[in-house]
Structures are given as C-alpha cells and as structure tokens.
Chain A
C-alpha cells in the first residue's frame, strides 16, 4: 500500500473517530432512573451447576485393568492356537548324492614340445576339462 494511501486511511480513521465523538448524546436522568429501577427489579440468573459425579473407587480401576489384561491374553492365546503349523524345516540335502560323479582320470602329459608350448597345451586341456565338468554338473 502506498504511503499516500496509508496517510489517507489514517486521515479517514481520525475523521471517523472525531465525527463519532461529535454525536452529542446524553443519557437523561429519566433514562438513568428507569435503568436503575429495572436493574433493581431483576435478579441475575445463577449458572446451572452440574451435579458433580463422585469419583469412582480405585477398585473399579483395578477391576477394569485386570479384565483388559485377561481379555488381551485370551485373544493372544486363541490366535496362537488357531495359527497354522509351521512347515518342518528343510532337511539339508546330501550334496554328494546330487552332484554326479566326475571322472578325474587325467592322461599323463608327454613332454614332446618345448616347455612353453606344452604349458599352453596343458592349460587348454585344463580349460576343456573344466568346461566338461561344468556341463556335467549343469551350471
């Protein structure tokens, strides 16, 4: 809001206050007497006081607590009785029986070529044997 607007607002508020004060009103003596007489004739009503309910004895509290606990225990027991039986734990399989027997017979290496070449041939044979084993196991 612009300062001019605020200024005019303040001016308006002041004018309204001043103008309200300029309304010349007096409570006449007659009205004063009338009001006084009316007030004397009136009896103020008393607030309805609600009857205070007496506090329950502590026995009530204990009884309700015990009942609640008993009910909870009963519910838990019933739920446990009705729960389906857990399946028996799986018996560990004999892995030796499952895995097929592997033929570990290896031919004796005949060193007829230079050592480097022989080493490569042996590695290649080893790889082939490994792949064969894998195939037989089913991996």
Chain B
C-alpha cells in the first residue's frame, strides 16, 4: 500500500502519514467493514480518501504538487536498463485511471473490487482499464524493448 501511496502523494512523508491514518481509521471503524468485499478493497478505499483529503479541497492532480527532485516514486525506483512503466503511467493517465490500473495489475483486484474502491461503476472501470492499457501499449510500441533490440 505504501508503494501505491507513493504514486499518489507529493512526498514520502505524506505517503507515510496517509498510511498511518489509513491503518488507524481501519482499526477504529473495523465494525463498519463489510465482509462481502475483500479487506484490501476496503483498506484501499480509505487510503485513497485520505490521500485526496491531504491534497486539499481543490483536488489538483498529484503531478502538479510534485517536483522532479523530490518525487518519492522516482526515489524508490532503482536505476535499471528499462524505464519503469508506472512512471509513464503516472504521466499519461489521470489519477483515477492510474489507480484503477494499479489495483488491477499490481494488486490483482477484480473489476468489481476496483469499482468499489474508486467509487465508480463497473463499466467505467472496464472502459478506463482498456483505455489505460491502450495508452501504455502505444507508449511501449514507441520505445523498442531491450530484448528485441539486442535479440
């Protein structure tokens, strides 16, 4: 979850604060958890709400708050021969689509769980997952894969 929060918060410290608030809120309101849903779905829902609260009422995109040098995600990505696709995703997709993609591919959540987490309809989730994939695919096709280049 801290990984996910790093993609949504302006700094590492903010992500840690949100994580702490999320765990406290989950513990405090444990009685309101509906076991029909996965526990992680509920937890992510709280986390996303807390992250949005930290950003303020204007709901500006996270990218506008972050500067390149202090980008917590950049700091946590080790230098490697290939570019991390999540960095591209964060630049190309809006916050909600990015979150949907993350929950689908990093957390293996179902479409229903993602819709519940993001408070969106299942059709919105499906459509935007498809759009997100297409956007990243086209980005991938622009940059030749290292294995293809070197055979």
Contacts and interface: CB of A to CB of B under 8 A. Distances in A.
Interface of A: 8-9, 12-13, 15-17, 19-25, 27-28, 31, 34-35, 38-39, 42-47
A20 B136 contact: no
Contact of A25 (B3, B20, B32, B84): B3
B140 A47 contact: no
A32 to B, nearest CB: 10
B106 interface: yes
Contacts of B76: 23-25
B105 A24 contact: no
18 contacts: A8-B140, A16-B86, A16-B89, A20-B106, A22-B84, A23-B3, A23-B77, A25-B2, A27-B2, A35-B20, A38-B20, A38-B23, A39-B24, A42-B24, A43-B28, A45-B29, A47-B31, A47-B32
Interface of B: 2-3, 6, 16, 19-20, 23-24, 27-32, 73, 76-78, 80, 84-86, 89, 101-102, 105-106, 133, 136-137, 140
A23 B20 contact: no
Contact of A9 (B3, B19, B77, B133): B133
A39 B21 CA distance: 10
B3 A35 contact: no
Contacts of A20: 3, 86, 102, 105-106
Nearest to B4: A20
A31 B73 contact: no
Contact of B31 (A12, A27, A45): A45
Given A8-B137, A44-B31, A23 B105 contact: no
